[in-house]
Amino acid sequence: MSPKASGVKQVARNKKAYHDYFILEKFEAGIELFGTEVKSIRQGTINLKDAFCTVKNGELFVRGFHISPYEKGNIFNRDPMRPKRLLMHKKEILRLYGRIKQDGLALIPLSVYFKDSRVKLELGLAKGKKLHDKRETAAQKDSQREMDRQKRERNV
């Protein structure tokens, strides 16, 4: 038996991203973290709501990603809002950078999860929704919910 834990364990999702953006493509990236940050993520004390990604000097960073300080970390805790470097292949980063600059898209963190004991971040290449798009999405969800409710009432 291997010492590594296997499988995928979801830690947090960015529901606001699905409300505010059309997600065109999804990518997986590793995150460069310190030990106390990983322990804090294991406890689930993170916030992705206002996070976004930037490319600087050919490196990908996530900003606005809040990891609460680990309560037993004392002097080893880092700034909760520090920019965290994402780990992806250079070709992927440059391709994403081109799409962001050319098409006016955004890179938004969608979820954080553990994959074989490593912290991974799911990124979405996203296009912003207008107000009428948000209303249309909400109307579709309401109609789907109503149809599901009708089905349940007929079957029971």
Contacts of 114 (CB under 8 A, 6+ apart): 5, 8, 9, 11, 42, 120
First to last CA, the chain: 47
pTM of the model: 0.74
What is the mean pLDDT of each successive set of 10 residues along the chain, which is 156 residues long?
Answer: 63 85 88 82 84 87 83 70 86 88 86 87 86 85 89 82
pLDDT, position 145? 92
Domains of the chain with CATH codes: 8-129 (2.40.280.10)
Contacts of 121 (CB under 8 A, 6+ apart): 28, 29, 30, 31, 62, 86, 109, 111, 112
HSE (side-chain half, CA atoms, 13 Å) at 104: 2
pLDDT, position 1? 42
pLDDT, position 6? 62
In degrees, rounded to 5, the angle at the alpha carbon of residue 113 between the alpha carbons of residues 107 and 117 is 130
pLDDT, position 73? 65
